[in-house]
Structure 1
Amino acid sequence: MTPPNASAPQNAMAGIGLRIGAASAMALMAATVKLGATSYGLHPVEMLGWRFIFALPLTMLFVATRSGGLGLFRTGHKLAHIWRGVLGMVTMGFAYWSLMLLPLAEATALSFAAPLFATILAALLLADRVGWHRWSAIVLGFAGVLFVMQPQHSALPAKGLAVAVVAAFLVACVNITIRQISRYDPPETTVLWFTTISALCLGCVMPFVAEPHTAGEWLLIVCIALFGGTAQMLLTASLSVAPVPVVAPFDYTQLVWAVTLGWIMFGDLPPATTWTGAAIIVASGLYVLIRERRSSRIVRVPEG
């Protein structure tokens, strides 16, 4: 079946620029979430709820400007989108939790294990053929994860490391779900359904977790929503103008932002083991992506 955006004009440089913008927005959102939780005591569920409630109008405006407009909300696979929405909310909850427990660089580095998990799930659940090249890259990538985690003598909290790995696994599950949905719906439909479902579900929870806030706290909350919504819109736009194998490698620029923001905002400088592990994870992820290039099967919508 022809992908939904196959007829869109392709522009590699525009797609790369949009993808770098998406990665930057994701890093800024992560830093703002960590700042809100650790410095201002904001409840993670409340931050997540406001993120979607504030982002929903922006998302609808963005989709309205796309070909098909808000008619993109129509789909014949509502249950698949509901499942993706629920799974996405749980995934983001774990991602926010990991940011509260770990330094920004380490949480970001471990999140890049998601493509490795996704390749394993694709082989197990979708009967994808995974040759020894990709299996070798996966083994190498998880060696990089161990470098970051330092299981024998890590100064990082074990709970935080476990939460980050679970978050990466859940991102892989989301990617597999999106891959299935992308066979019949365009990325804009997925983003619109995800944002709408999340805003509605979390809106029902907000009365139990929402609290009065100062002007500074509201500014943080609005920034989380703007950064997260912008990341999703820029990534969606990148998928419509350039092939996934061209733009996806630039997701890793988020790590540069994470190290920089972690240092500036929290005084965290990652040790040599984190740098080594992150480099191995990124290298293995890129190699898996290169091996996927022929089929262009990977579709990513960030959990942000």
Structure 2
Amino acid sequence: MSPFKGIALKLISVILFVIMSALIKATSDHVPPGQAVFFRSFFAIPVILGWLALRGDLQTGLRVASPMGHFWRGFVGTAAMGLMFGGLGLLPLPEVTALGYAAPLLTVVFAAMFLDERVGVFRFGAVALGLVGVLVVLSPRLSALAGETVETVQAVGAVMVLLGATCAALAHIYIRKMVATEQTSAIVFYFSLTSTLLSLLTIPFGWVIPGGTEILLLILAGLLGGSAQIFMTSAYRFADASVVAPFDYASMLFALLIGYFVFSEVPTMQMLIGAALVIVAGLIIILRERHLGLKRGRARSARTPQV
């Protein structure tokens, strides 16, 4: 294990994901979300295949035990991506990032509902705190749902991002179930393949012919997205999840910087307060998971027969 290397890889993946989102946002005035999903997914595939080839896992790394599991994970993951991309075209980048933090909070709830995981009062309290933060971010948007104003369009964007976070949480539940039988490389590859194919179903809803600059930005978004997945996966090979996971929240810093300097987006104090509450809640859950993981590890060691 090399915690510092794991943290460095995680930070690289976070930066790449935020830049990818910024590239998608830069094309969102002309390119519909479904088409953006296609570019993001299709051009990630060669990056992932190249990574597997370098590792010597090209033949064994793509074997699957549950094809339908990959399909359903891909389905909800594609829905999450499309909704998030739609929200990027309607909301500031930092706000989309803050609302996206609802996904790990909802994962805790869904794990209790669908995986029969025991979730105590401590973690449910943290989830409640995080959801309060989400409501703080959402409240100015939801108050403008009536009418045909710019504020109404932004409210629709906020709802799309929150639905996207919900789908992302469901995708995390599928991944938790799949890792018991599926290789990580297969989960990553078949998600990109499934989302590429599913995105083609949106062609009747109005794909466009992107301009030269837009095509370059979309291709780059796909390449960066695939690379970010690889860096993120590699980070967990060098450090425990409890060490690496908190650095997901560094994405807010990068989103604020890119939003301000590239898109001239100035965050409101209410958005920052709400984001802070969500981040604190997420960190509490991560620390609690680490504590419970250590306790489970000690319990397993105590039950292991000593030779």
- The answer to whether TM tops 0.5 is yes
- Provide the aligned C-alpha RMSD in A: 1.9
Alignment of 1:87-126 (within 5 A): 87-126=76-115
- Quote the residue 1:267 is aligned against: 264
- Quote the residue 2:212 is aligned against: 215
Aligned to 1:150, the other structure's residue is in SS state helix
C-alpha displacement of 1:11: 1.6
Alignment of 1:124-273 (within 5 A): 124-151=113-140, 157-203=154-200, 209-273=206-270
Structure 2 gap segments, 5+ residues each: 145-150, 295-307
1:82 is matched with which residue: 61, 67, 71?
71
Aligned to 1:213, the other structure's residue is in SS state coil
C-alpha contact (below 8 Å) 1:56/1:199 kept by paired residues: no
- State the TM-score, normalized to the length of structure 2: 0.87
C-alpha displacement of 1:142: 0.9
2:33 is matched with which residue: 28, 44, 59?
44
1:24 is matched with which residue: 11, 15, 22?
15
C-alpha contact (below 8 Å) 2:31/2:210 kept by paired residues: no
C-alpha contact (below 8 Å) 1:45/1:209 kept by paired residues: no
Q: Tell me which amino acid in the other structure corresponds to 2:37.
A: L
**In 1, Cα distance between equivalents of 2:137 and 2:171:** 24
Structure 1 gap segments, 5+ residues each: 1-9, 297-304
**In 2, Cα distance between equivalents of 1:203 and 1:18:** 32
CA separation of 1:169 and 1:141: change in aligned 2, threshold 3 A: same
Q: Tell me which amino acid in the other structure corresponds to 1:158.
A: A
The Cα offsets for residues 64-120 of structure 1, whole Å up to 9 and x where unpaired, read as: 223533321111111111111111111111111111121111110010011110001
Give the fraction of aligned pairs with identical amino acids, expressed as a percent: 32
**In 1, Cα distance between equivalents of 2:214 and 2:31:** 8
Report how many residues are paired: 285
Aligned to 1:268, the other structure's residue is in SS state coil
2:3 is matched with which residue: 12, 19, 44?
12
C-alpha displacement of 1:206: 5.1
Q: Tell me which amino acid in the other structure corresponds to 2:14.
A: A
Q: Tell me which amino acid in the other structure corresponds to 1:145.
A: V
C-alpha contact (below 8 Å) 1:49/1:206 kept by paired residues: no
C-alpha displacement of 1:203: 4.6
C-alpha contact (below 8 Å) 1:63/1:192 kept by paired residues: no
Aligned to 1:119, the other structure's residue is in SS state helix
Q: Tell me which amino acid in the other structure corresponds to 1:265.
A: V
Q: Tell me which amino acid in the other structure corresponds to 1:217.
A: E
45-54 vs 25-34, which moves further: 45-54
C-alpha displacement of 1:190: 0.4
